[in-house]
Structure 1
């Protein structure tokens, strides 16, 4: 990419060496907006103070998959005979609690996923041939068909593992992006996730005392990522859409509200190679994730709670309930309502100010 005062010359296709020239407007009057279907807070009409989210289109994206798929994704942990913790089921429960609260404040709410099932029609077996080709290309001339056991050190070199990754990490997220971009057309996507620390042997997972919170926005692209034509294109498209101008103040507001609600410290990434801390709250990072890159609207990606922390594990086992209960020595809301309330308070704070 070559940038001067008047233009940016961007490589569009590496193989054909085709370039695209983006010409900068001389002033704001001559600037042509990039066509988009989402509306920023400043484009919405002034809101009723009792309904600060009126007419705002919000898509809830519960992260990962639930049910039988959670174990495949390795977002499943069970300690002893306790009910297993499945991130995809947890995030869906939060979304279902949050949705009616958003609607009461005037928002138009849709779900990117509203069951434990994937929305892509594809399944891992559909990717076996592609998985084999990828492994051979990456230096595994005779890839094994299957994983030996959950602790198999070479599982990433098997056709099964690779085909499952292609299914749930790429096909599923890209299918969600198609839904968001061609049918739902939200003004905002809220990606709801839970975090986790390494838990070692999945047959005997380790609980930790670590617990934390952070939020993610799209950004902080790596040089290797920008070598890919599609990622370079998507980065430029997001920059021109000005989605970031909407995302950052909103993410800071949600982070501040969630920190107050959960009393969690900010997560500190062990390396800054792929992340950049942004904003003023201390909880928000830029990172180039597939969902935040592909969804063509502002996206805020929430990552509170460590699922395999002693405290959170106890909260999850307590289930959902109204009011407060004593859990692990503290009087508190259910973890699902605590999560939803933190997000809701941040949205109210941001849009009440932005739509005055």
Structure 2
């Protein structure tokens, strides 16, 4: 059931990746949790899909669901596909509630789908190479990881002898800056998600202390250890310290970057380095 609910929520939000509802860029609350979705997940707002009514045919919906988003099957009690609509269960307790998505009668009846990015078939033909080839195109660059003083926590750090340490987050940022110059020379507007070795999320590992502990308890670790003995500790995943760090740099940070892309930058293309 846990996997079915997670697949359902994620699949339907990905089936219609268009224009998100207008709202301010917000950081997730460190102790807010949407059951069955993610430790820091928010409860889906199904009304965001209303603008996609009649924007997909029955056959296309089934094909995407079965061959892209739920290749291992789905629960027909949660996703009830009918000839002219699909009913998606939004609750699993008490009186059932459903979001109803109506299908288009045919491909010829499909309305324009709202989106902020330029669709591939709408891109102007590249008539000349060089300056101006990417004019009007907005590209966001996401230098992966954090680097700097966070590199060891991320386990993206190594050192050989007396040589300076190699930190992956610093390398991705350097590559992003070089790439930004090249893309700008071709006329593109370029946005860097981060321009220094610091996290974008306003939270830090200590903010996730309690949610990390509760996560472990729900997973069956009744009395979790507080800290772990370095990256070689075979039981590190069962400690509060490791889980809170993961919630910080892998969960909260990535969610913050996704929010920045979806609700503020809204580029045509994102390159994750």
Instruction: Work out whether 1:86 is the aligned partner of 2:164.
Output: no
In the alignment, which residue of structure 2 is the partner of 1:308? Answer: none
Q: Decide which of 57, 61, 77 is 2:142's aligned counterpart.
A: 61
Q: Decide which of 180, 193, 198 is 1:112's aligned counterpart.
A: 193
In the alignment, which residue of structure 1 is the partner of 2:239? Answer: 158
Partner Cα separation in structure 2 for residue 187 and residue 130 of structure 1: 35
Partner Cα separation in structure 1 for residue 97 and residue 183 of structure 2: 46
Partner Cα separation in structure 2 for residue 62 and residue 10 of structure 1: 37
The answer on whether the counterparts of 1:70 and 1:86 sit within 8 Å (CA) in structure 2 is yes
Runs of 4+ aligned structure 1 residues displaced above 4 Å come to none
In the alignment, which residue of structure 1 is the partner of 2:86? Answer: 8
RMSD of Structure 2 on Structure 1 (CA): 1.7
In the alignment, which residue of structure 2 is the partner of 1:35? Answer: 114
More displaced 10-residue stretch of structure 1: 145-154 or 103-112: 145-154
In the alignment, which residue of structure 2 is the partner of 1:26? Answer: 105
Instruction: Work out whether 1:74 is the aligned partner of 2:74.
Output: no
More displaced 10-residue stretch of structure 1: 82-91 or 24-33: 24-33
The answer on whether the counterparts of 1:47 and 1:54 sit within 8 Å (CA) in structure 2 is no
In the alignment, which residue of structure 2 is the partner of 1:178? Answer: 259
The verdict on how the C-alpha distance between 1:22 and 1:124 changes in structure 2, with shifts beyond 3 A counting, is: same
Per-residue CA deviation, residues 279-298 of structure 1 (Å, 9 max, x unaligned), is xxxxxxxxxxxxxxxxxxxx
Q: 1:12: how far off?
A: 2.9
Q: 1:47: how far off?
A: 4.3
Partner Cα separation in structure 1 for residue 255 and residue 88 of structure 2: 24
TM-score (norm. length: structure 1): 0.51
Gaps in structure 2 of 5+ consecutive residues: 1-78
Per-residue CA deviation, residues 250-307 of structure 1 (Å, 9 max, x unaligned), is xxxxxxxxxxxxxxxxxxxxxxxxxxxxxxxxxxxxxxxxxxxxxxxxxxxxxxxxxx
The verdict on how the C-alpha distance between 1:3 and 1:107 changes in structure 2, with shifts beyond 3 A counting, is: same
TM-score (norm. length: structure 2): 0.66
Partner Cα separation in structure 2 for residue 135 and residue 145 of structure 1: 11
Instruction: Work out whether 1:135 is the aligned partner of 2:216.
Output: yes
The answer on whether the counterparts of 1:73 and 1:168 sit within 8 Å (CA) in structure 2 is yes
